[in-house]
Amino acid sequence: MLRVSKIIDYGTLVLTHMASDPERVFSAADLAATLGLGQPVVSKVLKTLTQREIVKSTRGARGGYALSKAPEAISIADIIDALDEQPFGLTECTATPGSCSVEADCNIRSNWQRINAIVRKTLEQVSIADMVTPTATIEFIPGQPSSSRLPSNVPAASPSTWSFSE
């Protein structure tokens, strides 16, 4: 099963909440309480996101954490890259080329690479600003930038009609 880790999920939740008020400075304690997460987890996420320059920290009585760039400029791929300890990849050979003993003779590797590229591109196109918007109002079609959404009354294309270009 393909699934993001809890730390990536929590990081996305923290950043999406911060994106709802992008000028505000948040404390780790307030974020933890508001989101129902443990403060140690939130602090760990914020520390890593600060090291990766996705958020900035300020010390002092009025200190805390704020987004270091506009919510539209922070993609889900950025969050995954910052918080995941492994390179992005749906399979071992797409994450770490050369790691599989049958890679040279593998008949499906190129298809996994294509699927991996499509998923990666989609994650790069979804920003935390998009995540602030309730999903019921977003009709996201893979391969299209998030800025070109369909109106909510237009049905999304079925998977058989999707096309992807490199």
CATH number of 6-145: 1.10.10.10
Give the predicted TM-score (pTM) of the model: 0.75
CA-nearest of 57, 50, 56 to 82 is 50
Per-residue pLDDT reduced to its tens digit, 20-60: 999 999 999 999 999 999 999 999 999 999 999 999 999 98
Provide the residue type at 81 as one letter: D
| One-letter-per-residue 3-state SS of 97-162 | CCCCCCHHHCCCHHHHHHHHHHHHHHHHHCEHHHHHCCHHHCCCCCCCCCCCCCCCCCCCCCHHHC
Residue 145 has pLDDT above 80, yes or no: no
Residue 151 has pLDDT above 80, yes or no: no
3-class secondary-structure state, position 96? coil
Distances in Å between the Cα of 35 and the Cα atoms of 65, 98, 144, 155 are 15, 40, 31, 32
CA-nearest of 64, 79, 61, 72 to 145 is 72
Q: Taking the domains of the chain in order of start, what are their residue ranges?
A: 6-145
